Amino acid sequence: MSDAKLPTRAEDYSEWYNQLVLRADLADYAPVRGCMIVKPYGWTLWENIQYQLDRRFKATGHLNAGFPVFIPKSFLSKEKEHVEGFSPELAVVTIGGGEELEEPLVVRPTSETIIGYSYAKWVKSYRDLPILINLWNSVVRWEMRTKLFLRTAEFWWQEGHTAHATAEEAEAETLQMLDVYADFAINEAAIPVVKGLKTDSEKFAGALRTYTIEAMMGDTKALQSGTSHNLGQNFAKAFEIQYLDRNNETQFCWTTSWGLSTRMIGAIIMTHGDDQGLIMPPRLAPWQVVIVPIYKNDAERGPVLEAVARIKAELVDAEVRVKVDDRDTVSPGFKFNDWEMRGVPIRIEVGPKDVQKNSVALSRRDRPGREGKSFVPQAGLAEQVKTTLKDIQAALLERATAFRKANTHEPTTYDEFKTVVEKGWAHVWFAGGREEEARIKEETKATVRCIPLEQPGGSGTCFYTGQPATQKVIFARSY
RNA sequence: CGGGGCGUGGCUCAGUUUGGCUAGAGCACUCGGUUCGGGACUGAGAGGUCGAGCGUUCAAAUCGCUCCGCCCCGACCA
């Protein structure tokens, strides 16, 4: 497991990340190029993410459904931009049951097309609308360069697909789900995000508009952490999703789609992790508390384990997710480092002295070393733990927000801009288009992450073209 | 697909330049003993077609050719 120190983030951020994912036991490499195996500890985190998203989807009227992993190849071609966007990264099945297939099947890279096919069958009348469906599944995109959780050939996600009678409704849905993502990121994952609109060159293939939540990672690069697309009538027209309105006139639907993936796990790692390892936000942590029993001999062992069992039961009653590390084969010191690597928010040590004094040692993962360690009475421990978990959750969000603020700059010239995007975000007035974006990317590796929904108002001078600009955008290097 | 690097026990690597003894080390693993409040110590043990194939040679991890795989950098991306 964890036998030595991680490289520090300053030494080699990429290597820090790679080793952490493996050593925190989140995931492993698969025998298939670019694919990953999500291990139980990582999958439990994903389940907690799923639960928090799913309850929000349900609360906004969506239901889950299952759709096929195979999509007829011809479906992909029906929407022009969509096929252009996805063709290069498709996995295609040409043989089934030993026979060459009449029509090759694409392993779904996303389900807009097969959804379009189905919705066209299901929608006849304005009374059938809206359709509000979400899918929990995995999709495959044959990526050139992969990195665990951030970009793999197969990844797990949810994809919501809705169909509406009007453009206004579709836009409202798109923005509502963007809000759901932002609320989830901020309040569950403790990751501050910027809600914004993607530029044309960054939007989803086939969408009218793409909205995004963008987060700053520990190396100041940006990570697109969730997207919500207003598909307009593009897919409705390609798949003939039509209905009769109140006036008995045929209309095309307006559709949306929105997704958030296991990439969020990468975001959690890179937002909160430190040189000791992971720091799990308490609300999503697989284990919120780990209890390490400490004893020298059999005489001490009994009473200690008895106290541990009692404390565990109290925490479980208080609905705290708690793990007792009763491994006899490794030392307490090893366990401390191991669980710090894995990011458990609170560690409780129970030793002979604690048994005598009815106390425990309680350590907060967000404050390493002595500073985060205190000795607290066993009486009222459950309440103390719940309060501390809330504190940690708040502290993580606060720290990440301060970090983002400290690394977001407002350059006004291209020279300043070039320096700034080496090590942070640039929040700038911008009047350029596709061509300017491409040139800036070429020269600085930075791209427009989004046009934030929250705008200062007024106008300014574009840092690049010198033209008057009416909006500020965020430029950054990204994953 | 272009440029660079690397393939030796589970992992990290030494050995390859200059071919030559039974292919080594550390970590991890198994069994025993002592330990246990910040990554324990010790004794014994198990584990290797040296990425694959062909060739050169008395002799190949080591030299040559071919292939395969992985990593890094670029072009593409939730």
Strand B: positions under 7 A of a protein C-beta atom: 1, 27-30, 35-40, 69-78
Tokens 């084969």 sit on residue: A329
For A259: left if phi > 0, alpha if psi spans -120 to 50, otherwise beta; the answer is: beta
- Report the protein residue whose CA lies nearest the C1' of nucleotide B40: A331
CA neighbours within 13 Å on the CB side: how many for A37? 9
Reported as a pLDDT band with limits 50, 70 and 90, residue A8 is: confident
What mean pLDDT is predicted for residues A187-209?
95
Question: What is d(CA A378, CA A351) in angstroms, rounded to the nearest whole number?
Answer: 12
Q: How confident is the model at residue A456 (pLDDT cuts 50, 70, 90)?
A: very high
CB A291 within 8 A of CB A345: no
Residue A175, judged by CB atoms within 10 A of its CB (0-12, 13-18, 19+), counts as: middle
User: What percentage of chain A exceeds 70 in pLDDT?
Assistant: 99
Q: Do domains A289-387 and A408-476 have the same CATH topology?
A: no
At A203, the pLDDT band (50, 70, 90 cuts) reads very high
Q: Is A188's CB less than 7 Å from nucleic acid strand B?
A: no
Nucleotide B35: nearest residue by CA–C1'? Answer: A296
> For A73-82, A143-152, A335-344, which range has the lowest pLDDT when averaged over its residues?
A143-152
Q: Check pLDDT > 60 for residue A3.
A: no
Q: Confidence class of residue A4 from pLDDT cuts 50, 70 and 90?
A: low
Is the shortest CB-to-strand distance from A334 to strand B under 7 Å?
Answer: yes
Q: Where are the domains of chain A?
A: 13-272, 289-387, 408-476
The total of other beta-carbon atoms located within 10 Å of residue A143's CB is 16
Q: How far apart are CA A194 and CA A191, in angstroms?
A: 10
Kindly report the CA angle at A289 between A286 and A292, in degrees rounded to 5?
Answer: 120
pLDDT exceeds cutoff 90 at A341: yes
CA distance A121 to A236: 12
pLDDT of residue A2: 36
Nucleotide nearest to A348 (CA to C1'): B37
Q: Which of residues 88-107 of A touch strand B (CB under 7 A)?
A: 88-89
CATH: 3.40.50.10860, 3.40.50.1820, 3.30.110.30, 3.90.1150.10. Which one for A408-476? 3.30.110.30
> What is the SS3 string spanning A153-201?
CEEEEEEEEEEECCHHHHHHHHHHHHHHHHHHHHHCCCCCCEEEECCHH
**pLDDT computed for residue A100 by the predictor:** 87
CATH superfamily, domain A289-387, is Anticodon-binding domain (3.40.50.800)
Cα separation values, A383 from A224, A311, A324, Å: 37, 12, 19
Nucleotide in closest CA–C1' contact with A144? B76
Mean pLDDT, range A92-114, rounded to an integer: 90
Lowest mean pLDDT among A97-101, A176-180, A364-368: A97-101
CA-CA distance, A311 to A326, in Å (whole number)?
14
Q: What is the pLDDT of residue A16?
A: 87
- Rounded mean pLDDT of A290-319? 96
What is the average pLDDT value for chain A, to the nearest integer?
A: 94
Asked if strand B contacts A436 at the CB level, meaning under 7 A, the answer is no
Query: Is pLDDT of A15 > 80?
Result: yes
For the cut 90, the answer to whether the pLDDT of residue A369 exceeds it is no
Per-residue pLDDT, A1: 36
Predicted confidence (pLDDT) at residue A223 exceeds the cutoff of 60: yes
pLDDT value of residue A462 = 96
d(CA A35, CA A30): 5
**The nucleotide closest to A110 (CA, C1' atoms):** B78
- What mean pLDDT is predicted for residues A152-165? 95
Residue A75 host element (H or E): helix A73-76
Topology, domain A13-272? BirA Bifunctional Protein; domain 2 (3.30.930)
Strand B–CB A369 distance below 7 A: yes
Strand B neighbours among A 370-409, CB < 7 A = 373
Instruction: Read off the pLDDT of each residue in A192-199 and give the average, rounded to a whole number.
Output: 97
Environment class of A94 (CB within 10 Å of its CB; exposed 0-12, middle 13-18, buried 19+): exposed
Greatest CA separation for chain A? 85
The answer to whether residue A294 scores a pLDDT higher than 50 is: yes
Which residues from the 245-304 window of protein chain A have CB within 7 angstroms of nucleic acid chain B? Answer: 259, 261-263, 276, 294-297
| Mean pLDDT in residue range A131-137 | 98
Say yes or no to pLDDT of A59 above 80. Answer: yes
pLDDT at A265 over 50: yes
- Rounded mean pLDDT of A32-44? 88
- The more confidently predicted of residues A153 and A257 is A257
pLDDT for A91: 86
